[in-house]
Structure 1
Amino acid sequence: MAKFLLILLVIWLVTRYILPVVMRLVVGMLVKKQAQKFGQQFGQNPFAQPPRPEPRAASSSSSRTASGEVHVDYVPPQDPGKPQEFKGGEYVDFEEVK
């Protein structure tokens, strides 16, 4: 009976503490290998750092913008005499239609 309990304890300790670490390493290696195969197919390295954009001077930023970048040149001033924007409305009872 003691031998059975000792074997059960060892199995529980291995599955509780050692197996998750081993599985994490194995799965991580498999994912890296598959990502490298994918990168080789399409000519890129998935684990390489993406190139950082170089900082541009203020004068050159107005002449060109990167793809997906928004640049606003002019924001018109708001009239002080113009009333505030409409913030809400009347309460209308909701009537459920069956």
Structure 2
Amino acid sequence: MAKFLLILLIVSFVVRFILPVILRLLVGKFVRKQAQRYGQQFGGQSFEGAFGTPPPTPPPHGGGNVRVDFIPPKTKKEQSQNFKGGDYVDFEEVK
């Protein structure tokens, strides 16, 4: 009986503490491998930012100044004054 309890205690310890660590490592390697495979298949983008070091951030632009090269001329809409109604659309109620 003591031998059975000792084996049960060891098995429960392995399942509770050691197995999750091993599974986490194996699943992590599998996910990285699949991400690299799909990254190469769809455009060659790497997934290093998600699993390794983050990609470098671009430098900030100067001070938030905005320069506008072209401003389109404003036209007044005469359509609202000449509007006499729209097209008739036949409506049928569906229940």
Q: TM-score range by the shorter chain?
A: 0.5 to 0.7
Paired letter, 1:58: G
Larger RCO (CA within 8 A; separation ≥ 6): 2
Corresponding residue for 1:52? 57
The 2-side partners of 1:17 and 1:58 are apart by 53
Distance change >3 Å, CA 50–CA 63, structure 1 → 2: farther
Corresponding residue for 2:66? 62
Corresponding residue for 1:95? none
Q: CA RMSD in A?
A: 1.9
The 2-side partners of 1:31 and 1:52 are apart by 25
Corresponding residue for 2:6? 6
Give the fraction of aligned pairs with identical amino acids, expressed as a percent: 54
* Residues matched between the structures, number: 63
SS at match of 2:60: coil
Gaps of 5+ in 2: 69-95
Paired letter, 1:46: F
Q: Which structure has the bigger radius of gyration?
A: 2
TM-score (norm 2): 0.58
